[in-house]
């Protein structure tokens, strides 16, 4: 266990005036992850390499003060609705709702006081798993219905971090939960950016967006563009050659890739290899889409050292429903509206190979 991080993250009060609770999970091979009840957050991921190095591959902060100050959603569970809702408005069964807006007039990751800033309850805990739960009251940030959410982290002996999401609501409401971990497989504090990572994503389509990350409504073919990762390439390889201005608008990748309907959900949707080829990460999920974000606006974000992170210090692979889906029910996707007789339940697995 990283005792220094444990001490610095618990020595200050959280949003509610009480110290955070941290949990360390360890598997048989010596891999360790650290989790926190504030935001049901994934704080640290340390991999034992064959050379004897313990490599930290998750970006993070060194103190709780920095954690509460950062605006990059680093490692947190985001909700009630991950990603963006245009203008913070949507309608359900003919009734219009206005929810909290916090980015360019849109609702991002649940609004001004999203799930990332809440203290989640620790329901169950063992050496290799923990269950967090949260009750979001009816009207929270403008969202209808009391939502009871549960996030389970399980560290397996195969170096898998399995994250399971579950939720129920008393009224029909948008629901879309994900984890916002930033990875740098070369080492979180290595000073290297993430753009030399080799990435493969099994998606033939992506969702074009405007300068604020709001989708236009139509899917686009990835073939022939910088968004085609099916064969695998480094993140930077087609960056400047792409004729599409979307990458320039977003300063990099901040887009959702959609997966085939009826696909085998036991097969990885993404594979990432570190520049030194020491670490491979695969992502498996039953969610319909994944947002690739290359840390385009990370500059100035506190790190675990005295040097803040720079832009592109890490990448996020956020498995989720599509952005603004409550306003695009015509999309052939799972319904983003969770109803009282339904259970929201999804699973994502990040597996590390060293």
Q: Assess whether 318 carries a catalytic annotation.
A: yes
8 Å CB contact between 82 and 177: yes
To the question of whether residue 83 is assigned a binding role by annotation, the answer is: yes
Tally of residues, the chain: 354
8 Å CB contact between 331 and 323: no
To the question of whether residue 4 is assigned a binding role by annotation, the answer is: no
CA distances (Å), origin 240, targets 190, 208, 346: 25, 17, 35
Out of 56, 109, 154, 180, pick the active-site residue: 180
Side by side, the strands of the sheet bearing 220-221 are 220-221, 205-206, 254-258, 289-293, 316-320
Q: Assess whether 129 carries a catalytic annotation.
A: no
- For the four alpha carbons of 89, 250, 285 and 186, in that order, the dihedral sign comes to negative
To the question of whether residue 84 is assigned a binding role by annotation, the answer is: yes
8 Å CB contact between 70 and 64: no
To the question of whether residue 181 is assigned a binding role by annotation, the answer is: yes
Could you tell me which of 210, 206, 184, 208 has the C-alpha nearest to residue 195? 184
- Binding-site members for beta-D-galactose are 83-84, 180-182, 254
User: Which are the catalytic amino acids?
Assistant: 180, 318
- Binding-site members are 83-84, 180-182, 254
């Amino acid at each position: 266990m990283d005792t220094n991080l444990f001490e610095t993250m618990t020595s200050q009060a959280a949003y509610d005036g009480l110290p955070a609770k941290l949990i360390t999970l360890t598997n048989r091979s010596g891999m360790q992850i650290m989790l926190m009840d504030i935001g049901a957050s994934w704080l640290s991921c340390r991999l034992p390499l064959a050379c004897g190095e313990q490599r930290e591959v998750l970006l993070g902060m060194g103190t709780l003060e920095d954690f509460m100050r950062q605006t990059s959603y680093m490692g947190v569970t985001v909700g009630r609705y991950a990603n963006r809702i245009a203008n913070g408005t949507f309608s359900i069964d003919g009734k219009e709702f206005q929810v909290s807006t916090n980015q360019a007039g849109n609702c991002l990751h649940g609004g001004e006081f999203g799930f990332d800033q809440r203290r989640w309850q620790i329901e169950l805990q063992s050496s290799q798993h923990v269950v967090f739960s949260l009750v979001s009251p009816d009207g929270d940030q403008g969202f209808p219905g009391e939502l009871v959410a549960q996030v389970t982290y399980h560290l397996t002996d195969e170096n898998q971090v399995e994250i399971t999401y579950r939720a129920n609501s008393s009224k029909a409401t948008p629901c879309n939960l994900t984890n916002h971990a930033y990875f740098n497989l070369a080492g979180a504090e290595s000073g290297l950016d993430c753009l030399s990572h080799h990435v493969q994503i099994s998606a033939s389509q992506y969702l074009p967006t405007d300068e604020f990350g709001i989708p236009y409504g139509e899917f686009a073919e990835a073939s022939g563009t910088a968004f085609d990762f099916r064969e695998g390439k480094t993140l930077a390889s087609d960056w400047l050659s792409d004729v599409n201005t979307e990458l320039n608008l977003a300063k990099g990748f901040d887009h959702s890739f959609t997966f085939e309907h009826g696909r085998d959900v036991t097969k990885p949707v993404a594979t990432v290899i570190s520049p030194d080829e020491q670490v491979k990460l695969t992502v498996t999920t039953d969610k319909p889409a994944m947002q690739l974000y290359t840390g385009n606006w990370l500059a100035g974000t506190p790190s675990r050292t005295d040097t803040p992170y720079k832009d592109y210090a890490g990448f996020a692979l956020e498995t989720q429903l599509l952005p603004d889906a409550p306003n695009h029910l015509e999309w052939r996707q799972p319904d983003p509206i969770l109803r009282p007789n339904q259970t929201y339940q999804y699973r994502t697995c990040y597996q590390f190979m060293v």
